[in-house]
Structure 1
Amino acid sequence: MYMSKILKKFVSVKGQLTGLYRNKKIVADYYSKFTILKERKRDFASNQAEYMDSLRSKVAAGDYLSFDMDGDSLTYGQDEFSNDKRPTFSDPTLDTSVYRDDSIQAGVTYPEVFQAEIGEFLSNSITVRNRGVSGMHAQTNLEVWKESAGADIHAVMLGTNDCRKNIPLENFFDDMSKIIERRLNWGAAVVLIKPPFKREPDKAFLGFYRDIIELLGKIYDIPVWDAEDFITDLDRKEFFCDKVHFNSKGYQALGKGITEKFKEVLAVEQELKKKIQ
């Protein structure tokens, strides 16, 4: 019995090491082909630059702006345990036109925070849509969100469930590429957000999916932000309601951090100074 447990542990560890080596090689192979990949996607990168310039012009002109936040339960705002949790569909920014997530929500979601925060800095009329679905990975995103809602820009944060489901990195790369290109074909700009690690960070496997996101940003000339930058390691556990999901404090931090990044890429501060002058 004891030897059987030892053998199972050995097989498990061996499998993990094999998986780590394989994923490391896959990421390295993609980076070795970077120049070729970037050349193939040159037209998409050009479109991304055009749409970002258009967004900045809209900010300056005070035109209507629409933001779509694509993701999984971390975008949806799942929280089953905190005292301030809310019933399903409590977030008024939630897009339930195609898919309805029945998970309990936190006291606040990051799209709600973003809507309030960015609204304070923009004179523009804005719409923010929460397109987060619990359990969603890149492939299911493609299956669910097939039509444009007319957004000017999409913030995409995926990878947590791809890692959890052991989706091959090659599939993740292809699916994320299709997600990016679909939105660019809709005439919308894109930003990518690397998902945060768990409450107790296990960086080995999710790190590879985050590496793919970083690479895709470079290929398509898309801004890539890191959700890890918005929470502090010192009080890390205070931001989570369980091993994976944030509580209201975590979603607040995520929403505020994303707002600051948007202000940078949209040159909001510069435009505000021009209007004051």
Structure 2
Amino acid sequence: MLLRSLSLSRSRLSTASRDTRRSLVSRSFSSSKEDPPKFDAEMVAVYMKIAEQHTHPKGPWPLMTKAVSEKVGDAPFKMLDIASGMGEPARSIGLALPKGEIIASDVSEDMIVKAEASLKDVPNVTPLLANAEDLSTIDDNSMDIVTCCYGYMFPADKDKALEETFRVLKPGGTLIATTWDRVDMISIAGDIMEAILGHRPPPPPLNPMALSEDGLFESMVVKAGFQNVITEKSTYPFDFGNDHGFQLKCGTLLIKYKIEELGAEEVAEKTFFECVPKYTTTDANGHMILPYNTFQMLTATK
């Protein structure tokens, strides 16, 4: 049934009309009724540079890969990666554990297209267009592992997303998920928007810090039916390089479209370079380093 569902979903993605594909994508994590802006080529380059940081030994991808390995050992397993973006951490886990049958799911068609390209050399990982709040193409009790790296902060109905995760896991299956605890990029973006608007803006609808309150995510996971909840925190650096233009693009990635909409590029640039010294260090190569990016990794069983 699992393979039949995957085949059906991939067929729909390849043959659906443009309008139909848009309707699938619009069932997004966002609580906004409008589709979020699509990443242009420049934003993709910046996004990929930042995503590379997650490979740090104390970053989420190696730690999640280790956690999966400790759960499954050398046995075959089935895994769903939610909010996989361009295919991570599904790719890292698939390479490390070739006996796994892994689905890399994301709500964005753009991300799925990019995941298909990045996963060409990882035959045991299959991209799938899917919404965390509606995993109806995935059978009940079919997954040994579900992973989600920085994804559960974004569903409009977070409880529903966790209920769907619980549904697709086998009894005794494991959830491994990361959520942000501290991200100084968010603080930098807030400083810039305060300089532009004259006041601190409220959190955005898609808020990376939505689950940062102590105990909040754990309580939601328990409410969804999970047990044996364990959490640990890890901190790793972001390297923004030594090119001032690229540093600015990294630091303003989260608010790029808002800055352009307001025509506030000059204010944003000035404020960025004024405020970053309180958040960053400079290494021996002149690279701007954001040292304090802290996340929580949660594991729980069904």
TM-score (norm 1): 0.38
Greater percentage in strand: 2
Greater percentage in helix: 1
Q: Which structure ranks higher in relative contact order (CA pairs < 8 Å, sequence separation ≥ 6)?
A: 1
